[in-house]
Structure 1
């Protein structure tokens, strides 16, 4: 299949150069970016007045949690988790989780996300949704053993079962990732075995680390060191590790992350809403740490809109540092595209010949995006997910002119309402 996108403002290459050009997609790759491409294509899209952007990479979320959107707002993290979210999650079935995954997939497609890194339960069901929706999903079963050896074995078994299920799908868009929940919910034994298995099977690892002051206190009291130092001491860290949050990091932690090539998935919306704190973005960037952007789950954000998340990231760090030059628009846009793709080891996050054809076309024919003085700035500070008109992943059109082509939008929303009533 081939797609030709004509007449757009194209964000070209790794340097995000803005060019008026056409983009030719052949199969799942970008074949050519140039003015006046005359080659025929199966589908031709007129992008006049639109911006042709790399699709966004959501580097940390819990996609089925849209079912809990708005049910436990304005609470600190541990109260939110222990007294509201975990009791509701105990009611989840595979069917309910799949309904939530459909809702999450729909929301991401409509707001221009092409790839996401997920951690939740019943991830075989989520994998089926990813395959059907056309998204690119990196999926981890969230392991929690709370120091119980019997639970350790059970959690590892479920993770391996999920890995086997995903690999049998034989899809280049659906990948398994090991996902121990966090150092405060996982035993050292579990963490060490995850590290061994990830190396053996050549899989990525994602884990929540240093999200709150309470977590730092808990780990320090238990082990006499920070979560990052703990993970380093047991040989857990590496270039295949993506830590979520990284809010409470000291200089030693940052040096360790940089030395090990660890990526940090920044979740400013969730961190602000739960009052967890502010990640030391500039210090991490100065140390050379790769930073991606994530929304976290829609129960603590409360959306999966990466355009919205970019604005939050840029504004948060400016006011926190009292410095308007921190978290400039291009840096934040890079976090939401190229940096996320780099963390996942995929040739995506940019519009350039040979890259995966993951593209969002954004309608700039609107008052809040005119005049087109600065495309990247407008995307970070002015746009939102509703401005996305077309989403293409792996060369396949998932949404065209606002119409979802791979999912039944009305059915997804109706099912989400039905299940939400059962979980409330």
Structure 2
């Protein structure tokens, strides 16, 4: 981890702030240890000898928050494209994932963390196996993460017992680690992969550990119909019956919901991680995001894994969220740029139950990024929020800080060996093919 001054200031910067009247200001931001202590147009009174960064030609934003993914699946990027979800899972993903070793997960996660950090994502959620390796990568990288052992229950009772024991141990051991940058959740994979009695054991574990829950839900019409056939209920009512929503909860996808289900999610304060890129690529459908937002549901953004996206570019997710909901609704005001940015930042933090992440304001964690605006697609300087959502990409990120420490400088990771990660990830994939 690189060391950073305990107190320093950015001057001449342009900042995205949580103010509907004046969402962008030009001025100063002071960082002390891991917190933002001042942001404003006027120069604050500070010691003359504190380090100063010149923010000219930089637009400072909260770090982006990716609320659903499987980092190690970057090793399967491009392996099995253009297939329906169930075919993709059962014939391509699951057979390959069964071969994953702990080391494969380490290098696949490293590849994803490198991509995310360089692209301005400072916090991500990860649901997978061999989660100790994922946590090790997060700890070394300086990133913030919400981690959980995702468990598929289509196995013997003995294996089920082993899996839930492992999930509980990981959640207990790693919650609050890495100087508080790692928090944990309890995560049965999905209602269609976890029998009801098994799912209820996760609900009880979440109560016992006082942790939130996360699961895949209503990603495809096939999955919803299967739930009705098997249990007589659509997934939202099914999960409510199993008690999941008695815990703080976040569901991934939520593509196929009816009005009653949206009301249930709103009533129980259940967040939805909208994954537009993955849902479009797998032809799963388009979630009713505008209806969810109108109902008061917190909707955030996720990339899903790189095997179904195929990148981890949260700028792309913000743009897709803004564009597709305009297109299907016929309303160009459906998801404005500012709302898309909130979905990628503060709504994401709220979905992950991180109350000091997701915006630039005094008292918030110093998780932020700087985008290079001295480029053709950022000119003229009319509306920086619009430019970020409709024009920018991950490649525009110049600098990244997490907890006040710089982890990316001029586009290069300071905490990770990029060359080795690229080499080892390619070797890991070749190893999977040969097994």
The answer to whether structure 1 residue 369 and structure 2 residue 375 are counterparts is no
- Pairwise CA distance, 1:152: 2.3
Unpaired stretches in structure 1, ≥5 consecutive residues: none
Secondary structure at the counterpart of residue 82 of structure 2: coil
Q: Distance in 2 between matches of 1:286 and 1:355?
A: 27
The answer to whether structure 1 residue 261 and structure 2 residue 269 are counterparts is yes
Q: Deviations over 1:256-280 (max 9, x none)?
A: 0000000000000000000000100
Q: Deviations over 1:221-260 (max 9, x none)?
A: 0011101010111221146110000000001110100000
Q: Distance in 2 between matches of 1:341 and 1:357?
A: 13
- Pairwise CA distance, 1:420: 1.4
Match of 2:26 among 20, 24, 27: 20
The answer to whether structure 1 residue 2 and structure 2 residue 10 are counterparts is no
Change (3 A) 1:328 1:58: same
Change (3 A) 1:239 1:335: farther
Match of 1:165 among 156, 161, 173: 173
Q: Give me the TM-score of the superposition, normalised by structure 2.
A: 0.95
Worse-superposed segment, 6-15 or 54-63:
6-15
- Pairwise CA distance, 1:170: 5.7
Q: Deviations over 1:313-354 (max 9, x none)?
A: 111111111221111111111111111111222211110000
Secondary structure at the counterpart of residue 67 of structure 2: strand
Secondary structure at the counterpart of residue 201 of structure 2: helix
Change (3 A) 1:37 1:401: farther
Secondary structure at the counterpart of residue 91 of structure 1: coil
**Which residue in the other structure is 1:96 paired with?**
104
Change (3 A) 1:329 1:168: closer
Q: Distance in 1 between matches of 2:200 and 2:303?
A: 28
**Which residue in the other structure is 2:415 paired with?**
406
On the 8 A contact 2:203/2:247 being kept in 1, the answer is: no
Structure 1 runs of 4+ with >2 Å offset: 13-16, 34-45, 147-152, 167-171
Q: Deviations over 1:180-211 (max 9, x none)?
A: 10000001122211111112211121100000
Q: Distance in 2 between matches of 1:412 and 1:45?
A: 30
- Pairwise CA distance, 1:169: 4.0
- Pairwise CA distance, 1:167: 4.1
Q: Distance in 1 between matches of 2:265 and 2:32?
A: 38
Q: Distance in 1 between matches of 2:301 and 2:108?
A: 22
Secondary structure at the counterpart of residue 193 of structure 2: coil
Secondary structure at the counterpart of residue 61 of structure 1: coil
On the 8 A contact 1:239/1:262 being kept in 2, the answer is: no
- Pairwise CA distance, 1:176: 1.6
Secondary structure at the counterpart of residue 307 of structure 2: coil
Q: Distance in 2 between matches of 1:163 and 1:14?
A: 36
Q: Distance in 2 between matches of 1:48 and 1:168?
A: 36
**Which residue in the other structure is 2:398 paired with?**
389
Q: Deviations over 1:107-148 (max 9, x none)?
A: 111010111111111000000000000000100111011264
Q: Distance in 2 between matches of 1:331 and 1:151?
A: 43
Match of 2:118 among 110, 118, 124: 110
- Pairwise CA distance, 1:422: 1.4
Q: Distance in 2 between matches of 1:168 and 1:156?
A: 20
Secondary structure at the counterpart of residue 351 of structure 1: coil
On the 8 A contact 1:358/1:392 being kept in 2, the answer is: yes
**Which residue in the other structure is 1:36 paired with?**
43
Change (3 A) 1:288 1:238: farther
Secondary structure at the counterpart of residue 68 of structure 2: strand
On the 8 A contact 2:176/2:183 being kept in 1, the answer is: no
The answer to whether structure 1 residue 357 and structure 2 residue 363 are counterparts is no
Change (3 A) 1:14 1:215: farther
Change (3 A) 1:14 1:257: farther
Kindly report which structure 2 residues correspond to 1:5-84, keeping only aligned pairs within 5 A, or say none. 5-13=10-18, 15=20, 17-34=23-40, 35-37=42-44, 39-40=46-47, 43-84=51-92
Unpaired stretches in structure 2, ≥5 consecutive residues: 1-5
Change (3 A) 1:101 1:324: same
**Which residue in the other structure is 1:282 paired with?**
290
Worse-superposed segment, 293-302 or 232-241:
232-241
Q: Distance in 2 between matches of 1:151 and 1:260?
A: 32
Worse-superposed segment, 230-239 or 68-77:
230-239
Kindly report which structure 2 residues correspond to 1:299-310, keeping only aligned pairs within 5 A, or say none. 299-310=307-318
Secondary structure at the counterpart of residue 85 of structure 1: helix
**Which residue in the other structure is 2:220 paired with?**
212
Q: Give me the TM-score of the superposition, normalised by structure 1.
A: 0.97
On the 8 A contact 1:239/1:260 being kept in 2, the answer is: no
Secondary structure at the counterpart of residue 352 of structure 1: coil
Secondary structure at the counterpart of residue 24 of structure 2: strand
Q: Distance in 1 between matches of 2:104 and 2:380?
A: 45
